Structure 1
């Protein structure tokens, strides 16, 4: 049932992404419009379709990265925004823009990767290379705050035009994205997907705790560092192309666990990627259409939806025992009705 709901939501989001807007294309005419020579065919094929594909890829990467971080650190609040990864990637892309450095478009993912790796490395070094999950999370929040302060300094130095670009970029936007942006993410996916497959068994063991993981032969610190590295490879290219789309890495893993509470790390990883893709795709529709012809950043809508839904999911996951209904206790075992002399004889 959950898979059917996810499939229906993805299909509805895809149809809305390709049909709605100016010009409006009826859903029944979409197959004939794709690849045609008219204005509608050009808009759907060259503008709406790559934007839809990019939304799906970006959401899947952020959802998978959020689950990897939460499972590796055993903390439901471990998200890219609180570990310095997203802030570092945004700083790596925004700094050349403010400093007027001519950087080719193909190098922007590498700058984002360097910034994300810097933020993650600072977090790990300050937290003792992942020896304590709580220390990693708290240190990451401090590193993220420091990197965001550096971004504010850059924004003070920027002129008016650069400032508008940085504002829109920092909120996350899919506006004016083309097939070149989509194809630029494919090499990173070719690296990240096999790494995710290899990381799944370690994530399942890390959920048991550090002592149990060591007893099963897992090097906990190395596994945690590797998980953070995989999350960096997933997040950095997306931030380079779309900006830091907030709260997707927090919301998607919680939705995945809600859909299948008894699932393992592999099942949650797939569901988290699917949920992240659907969240970004659905959030992009009001970003395009709510204030048309002006577009709003998709990251603003993911934050508006993600914060209340995430809080609601956390509350439902931590309901007290009295809210879950009466607990049935086993009936006491009564002694059989045996006469007292017989019992005394048995005792003798």
Structure 2
């Protein structure tokens, strides 16, 4: 070994040791992030189950835990089975499923478009589902599966229109947000026009539905909503890694092997189906899809997209708001009134925070 080789050997050893230290540090960070994400998911799961129990137990009559668990186990409990099994349980299940759907759909759009404001209820997709659903209620007198399919068609058509209007060789997030806000205003005006053309009873039913309510939930809503949440939520979870790469920008994602246009189209279709099916079942419960993603990201930390966490956050928001709507005001309110009260100030706070970042960055 010559003199140069003897001098290079300690340097190579030092570089190798530095690389190994950095790799171990990265692994430790990932382990902490994974533990935090798992702990958050477990805590939210426990919270959602606790809220389900409270929503089942409390009402005009309070039922002991043993009675609730007996009904859930399928036992015949006189005087309790009908109230819990036929009135309260469908409401709780529809609320939880709708919350999961709203949360995952909202977070999918926000992550894909790299903009917290790009929630389906901000960019007009909810407005499209609302318009077609109101037409179904007032003009066609539809309900159940047919109304769900009509709301899905309206949501998908609106998403296609917004995407087409904002297309500039690729999906431009800022342009899509502005086009969506404008289209939402037009769709909301059309919804109001359809409402005033209906008779008194249809107007009341449609207005109550537009507020976002779980009062009319029954067992016919549960199977189709559960199937749609599973069949669309699972593929979205499988796309988490590619959605994560999209946060780097379209050009960087393409260089890393992501088929950007295909992934974006798939996410849009799946998220709109989720959103529209939940909207058809419970009405457009305000701000759940907008709030779930940022809350989930704050709880999980700056790691992989927290779609599952956003779903559990959405379920918890809907269930908690339903409990408050039933028991806190002097009269029972639709759940959408409570989420609107929460979401309005949250939207203002988020916009103020974003504007300050732009000013002082």
TM-score for both structures, normalised by structure 1: 0.84
Q: Secondary structure of 1:82's match?
A: coil
Structure 1 residue 159 displacement after superposition: 1.7
Q: Please state if 1:142 is matched with 2:182.
A: yes
Quote the residue 2:165 is aligned against: 126
Offset at residue 11 of structure 1 (A): 3.5
Trace 1:61-100 onto structure 2 (pairs within 5 A).
61-99=101-139
Alignment of 1:295 with 2:295, yes or no, is no
Structure 2 matches for 1:1-348, cutoff 5 A? 2-3=40-41, 5-34=43-72, 35-99=75-139, 101-103=140-142, 105-128=144-167, 130-265=170-305, 268-291=306-329, 294-309=331-346, 311-312=348-349
The whole-number CA distance in structure 2 between the counterparts of 1:186 and 1:14 is 16
Whole-Å Cα distance in 1 between the matches of residues 145 and 269 of structure 2? Answer: 21
Question: Relative to structure 1, is the Cα distance of residues 33 and 213 closer, same or farther in structure 2, using a 3 angstrom cutoff?
Answer: closer
Question: What is the rounded CA distance, in whole Å, between the counterparts of 2:216 and 2:341 in structure 1?
Answer: 22
Q: CA RMSD in A?
A: 2.4
SS where residue 179 of structure 1 aligns? coil
Contact (CA 8 Å) 2:121, 2:290: kept in 1 or not?
no
The number of residues matched between the two structures is 318
Return closer, same or farther for 1:225/1:4 CA change in 2, 3 Å cut-off: closer
Distance (Å, rounded) in 2 between the aligned partners of 1:89 and 1:144: 11
Do the aligned partners of residues 6 and 315 (structure 1) sit closer, same or farther apart at CA in structure 2, a change above 3 Å counting? farther
Note the residue ranges of structure 1 that are not aligned, 5 or more in a row.
324-348
Superposition TM-score, scaled by structure 2 size:
0.81
CA distance in 2, matches of 1:262, 1:182: 34
CA deviation after TM superposition for structure 1 residue 28, in Å: 4.5
Please identify the structure whose Cα radius of gyration is greater.
1
- Deviation digits for residues 266-304 of structure 1 (CA, Å, limit 9, x no counterpart): xx1111111111111111112222346x53111111111
